[in-house]
Amino acid sequence: MLADVQKALDAFKQRDITRVFLVACGGSSSLMYSSKYVLDRESENIDSYLYSSNEFLHRNPKKLNEKSLVILCSHFGKTPETVEAALFARDKGALTVGLTFDGDSPLAKAVEHVIVYDDRESASYLNESSAIMLELVFGLLAAKEGNGKFMDLISSLEDLRSLIDIEKAKFLPLAQELAKSYKNEKVIYTMGSGANYGIAYWFAICILMEMQWIHSHAIHAGEYFHGPFEVLDKNVPFIVLLGLDETRPLEERSLEFTQNYGERVIVLDAKALNLTTIADSVKGYIAPFALQALLRQFADELAKERNHPLSTRRYMWKVPY
């Protein structure tokens, strides 16, 4: 585990913390959904909120105060709303922790505790931003409520990279086949629930919309039957995620319906992956990381088939906004 993470956890022990605010934008926000799920499922007393940075600033939650922990994330550490949110939270007396890839970035300077993550594929999964999010919340719950899953989490994350590498190698031929099959689609929906919803959202808005200019929407599997499912026909593509958390029955129900009436369904099922060294106590929370790695591999192949590199943008970092 990174020394930066340990320092933040030490700081948690010194503070009375009654609420956690998870604040970021886009992809950085999406990786916080599973932490929110953990806090809802596991915490006896600590309330939690997840906001897009500019919504957080303007909503100005009245309960944000010196007993609040605000965790922020921005890859390059330059997202203006997120930097401003950090300063705003500090001004309210909250304890601030910022995750970023760049230790010299504005976000790194704005927060009390910066954690510089390392998401190179050669690095331990322990040092990935999404993993650090879980380390922070389970560390908090250990310190404040005696939650005992922290060590299970750490040992599970230590093994995760090698498990994921094996699964990616197995998945590659299917990813290539799916990329060929879906390369001309104009709309692709994603679907998930619980700890998985964040990666469904990430794939929809960061990969499909941002990096491939394909129309998309992350449909919550529990909401599907209350409106969205009416768009389904044989030709409408869906990516359905099946996780290992307690909401899996929602995903299974949505998948069954989609397979009954649709013919363009991609299923990524965490049960089909070898995650045997992941502790049962945290398996549901970690499964999204494995699914995300496969989704990313599919994205790479899709980009190749479409001759549309994932780095292509028409507006982002190019025009004022």
Q: Where on the chain is the footprint of a second copy (CB under 8 A)?
A: 19, 25-27, 29, 37, 40-45, 47, 49, 52-55, 58-63, 79, 81, 186-187, 193-194, 204-206, 209-211, 213-217, 220, 222-223, 225-233, 246-247, 249-250, 253, 257, 261, 313-316, 321
Tell me whether residue 145 or residue 165 sits nearer to a second copy (CB atom): 145
Q: What is the C-alpha to C-alpha distance for residues 140 and 134, in angstroms, rounded to an integer? A: 10
Integer-rounded Cα Rg, in Å, for the chain is 19
Q: How far is the CB of 233 from a second copy (least distance, A)?
A: 8
Q: How far is the CB of 271 from a second copy (least distance, A)?
A: 16
Q: How far is the CB of 171 from a second copy (least distance, A)?
A: 24
Q: What is the C-alpha to C-alpha distance for residues 262 and 212, in angstroms, rounded to an integer? A: 23
How far, CA to CA in Å, does 251 sit from each of 95, 150, 193, 195, 236?
Answer: 36, 27, 7, 11, 18
E strand segments, the chain: 19-24, 47-52, 68-73, 95-100, 113-116, 187-192, 215-220, 238-242, 265-269
Tell me whether residue 19 or residue 149 sits nearer to a second copy (CB atom): 19
- In the beta sheet, which residues pair with residue 220? 192
Q: How far is the CB of 193 from a second copy (least distance, A)?
A: 6
Axis-axis angle for helices 3-14, 129-145 (nearest 10):
30
Tell me whether residue 101 or residue 257 sits nearer to a second copy (CB atom): 257
Tell me whether residue 71 or residue 163 sits nearer to a second copy (CB atom): 71
Q: How far is the CB of 191 from a second copy (least distance, A)?
A: 13
